A and B are shown apart, each in its own frame.
Chain A
Amino acid sequence: MKTTLAILAAGLMLGTAGATYAQDAFSIVYIGKNTGNPYFDSITGGFVDACVEIGCQFEFVAPATAEATSQIPFIEAQIQRGVDVIAIAPNSPDALNQVLDSAKAAGILVMTVNGDLVGNEEHRDASILPVDFTKTGPNQVELAGSLIGYEGEIAILSATTEAPDQNTWIAAMNDTLANDPKYANMKLVATVYGDDQPEKSTAEMEALLANYPNLKAVIAPTTVGIAAAAQVVQSRGIADQVAVTGLGLPSEMRDFIKDGTVEAFQLWSPYNEGVLAAYFAKGVLDGSIKNEVGETFEVPNLGTITIDPNNMMNTQAELTTFNAENIDDFDF
């Protein structure tokens, strides 16, 4: 029996990644949505490099699964540890309110990075998003339109039905398609959900192709979805008939760009989010940055950052478009 317990205990241990310790200045922890998610490796890289520059202790932790409440014990542990800064990519817009309030009460600077507490902004001190997320939907529609001559049937392959970011973007895509005359000849025929699983995303993509033989483009605003959609198109050899685009990671999409399966897709720099978050935290802690709307400050390589209403900051103005010409310039 003892053996079994020991096995269980060992098995239940899940990894923490990317622990880095520079000279002791201030400590910052980033709580990701879940472990093993390559997207957060890139954000973590930004934190690590910035902390080497400005001197902070950085640690990345994350729960095994991206559930609404799974981050709560991680936040509680960091409060007890007495870190100076908690940065978090929240798994829920409201489930964390109470525990984040206790963190703030303990004097910890709380900021959301790469996702916000929409409607509950008072429970964090500041928020860092890569771009103004209201631009994601229109940018994606424009990219898809440019790939198909602004004419024909299109479909959306998303993550889960309740994914808040994707749903915001999809609403904006619908809005853009309905109201901008430039896209009057593009018809959105279906929005389907692959739950960010390759198997399910593939089945949904195959079903789109079977149900809509005239489909011209698929927008997948999620990294798992776009890779699965691209693989279906590659496997069927129909890249010249159906354009796959959306939001993807260059590291996962490089092959598809190089062999012509995907012409172009978009994203932003997750790395820069980590850099901005670290510089902002240092400035607030040492008093050189006031966490007030309208305040501006400089970050190396990112230029002048302005704190927008609701204490929000963006690392870039528009989405970056990746294609065969520039894909090798990005190493995340």
Chain B
Amino acid sequence: MSALRSLLLRREAGILVMIMLFCLAVGLYKPQFLTGNNLRVILLLTPLIMIAAMGQMLVLVARHVDLSMGSILGLSAMVTGMMFRDMPQIPWMLGFAVAIGTGALLGLINGALVTLFRLPAIIVTLGTLNLYRGLTFIISNARQVDRQYIPTELKAMSQTSPIFGVPSIIFIAFGVAILAYYFTMHTRVGRQVFALGSNPVAAPLRGIKANQVTLLVFTISGALAGLAGILYASRWGFVNPSNTGAGFEFQVIAAVVIGGVSINGGVGSVPGVVLGVLLLGCVSAALPLLGIPGAAQNAIYGTVILIALLIDRTVRQQGVLGLRRLPA
């Protein structure tokens, strides 16, 4: 009983309850929502967000924010896509190194601007959000990289299923989440990120190198956005200078915050973020199934985010049992 009680008091419990209630409610109207095939649809809607969310989580825990993730995704994907197009003899696996490397470099630039000039991350990454998007247009001459140039093997990662009918891209997403879990829970640097975010003044006094940790979280965030970039090419089969990654950062931040990461730093967990991502995936898959028209979908999507945050806050203060007192 006490084990169950402590489980219910965990931060993740609220979001889990939310997912179950939402899926059951949708399933009542549309039984096909609760099928294995639909689980596949939900999982295929989320891998890019899940990967990027791990990076965003680290940045938020360190008391910063990365608004440029969508543009990093776009620029990394464009660099990689143009390489595939213009140098077709290059082994396609090299695309992963190029995309992750490009993303890491762009993230490092964010981190450097934040630490060197002591600028708030929200301003720096708002600038680079536009800068990186502009660069994407400039290097691509505003032209899309078409489907025929994306290597077949890369596209197959989002389509074919090595094990249990699950495409590789989903394994990559959960693999990144497991690495992030290990990093945050079991490495010294991972714990330092939390310490820095909890108290940026005290952390350096305890020997934490604040600038290095800040550079690291932005670089990881960029690298993961770069990984999401090449997987965008895999999932959708093209790279477009204006669409690829546009608005992506808001989905990522929404998922991370729903997952219980505090925008005030120091607080957050990988299981919570995974659940936050899955909740957004469930909502994205459910709205079309329910036949809700486009304009209303945006409003409902936003409402679900707000409700999730409200429930999360209540759970944080009182546990799941406190939900009984939540005004209807």
Chain A positions near chain B (C-beta within 8 angstroms): 3-4, 7-8, 10-18, 34-38, 41, 64-65, 160-161, 190, 192-193, 195, 197-200, 202-204, 206-207, 210-211, 227-228, 231, 234-235, 251-252, 254-255
Contacts and interface: CB of A to CB of B under 8 A. Distances in A.
Given A65-B242, A203-B41, A17 B124 contact: no
Contact of B134 (A13, A17, A202, A228): A13
A227 B237 contact: yes
Nearest to A5: B127
Contacts of B30: 210-211
B119 interface: yes
B137 A251 contact: no
Contacts of A17: 141-143
B32 A255 contact: no
A161 B141 contact: no
7 contacts: A15-B134, A64-B242, A161-B295, A203-B285, A206-B41, A211-B32, A228-B236
Interface in B15-74: 30, 32-33, 35, 37-38, 41, 44-45
Interface in B177-233: none
A230 to B, nearest CB: 10
B288 A207 contact: yes
Given A8-B130, A254-B148, 10 more contacts: A7-B127, A7-B130, A11-B130, A13-B138, A18-B141, A36-B143, A38-B144, A199-B284, A211-B289, A231-B237
Contacts of A198: 236, 243
A4 B123 CA distance: 8
A252 B147 contact: yes
A11 B141 contact: no
A193 B137 contact: no
Contacts of B162: none
Given A11-B128, A198-B236, A235-B159, A35 B242 contact: yes
A330 to B, nearest CB: 12
Given A17-B141, A36-B144, A161 B41 contact: no
A36 B148 contact: no
Nearest to A255: B147
B146 interface: yes
A210 B38 contact: yes
Interface string B109-151: 0000100010100011011111111100110111110111000
B84 interface: no
Contacts of A199: 45, 284
A150 B9 CA distance: 59
Contacts of A18: 141
**Chief secondary structure at chain B's binding surface:** helix
Contacts of A207: 285, 288-289, 291
Given A36-B137, A192-B288, A4 B124 contact: yes
Contacts of B159: 231, 234-235
Nearest to B241: A36
A204 B38 CA distance: 12
Contacts of A190: 291
Nearest to A249: B146
A200 B243 CA distance: 12
A12 B242 contact: no
A215 B55 CA distance: 41
Given A11-B129, A198-B236, A210-B38, A38 B134 contact: no
A203 B127 contact: no
B142 A36 contact: yes
B91 interface: no
A11 B125 CA distance: 11
A278 B119 CA distance: 50
A231 B41 CA distance: 13
Given A7-B127, A210-B38, A227 B137 contact: no
A120 B133 CA distance: 35
Nearest to B143: A41
B128 A7 contact: yes
B36 to A, nearest CB: 12
Nearest to A66: B242
B114 to A, nearest CB: 11
Nearest to A251: B146
A4 B32 contact: no
A273 to B, nearest CB: 18
A13 B133 CA distance: 9
A38 B293 CA distance: 27
A255 B127 CA distance: 38
B327 interface: no
B96 interface: no
Nearest to A254: B148
Nearest to A192: B288
A190 B288 CA distance: 11
A52 B78 CA distance: 30
A220 B74 CA distance: 26
A8 B150 CA distance: 32
A11 B45 contact: no
A211 B237 CA distance: 26
Contacts of B284: 199, 203
Contacts of A192: 288
Given A3-B117, A36-B241, A161-B294, A15 B127 contact: no
Contact of A203 (B45, B124, B130): B45
B137 A12 contact: no
Contacts of B130: 7-8, 11-12
A221 B129 CA distance: 32
B41 A10 contact: no
Contacts of A204: 288
Given A15-B134, A17-B143, A161-B293, A206 B285 contact: yes
B142 A7 contact: no
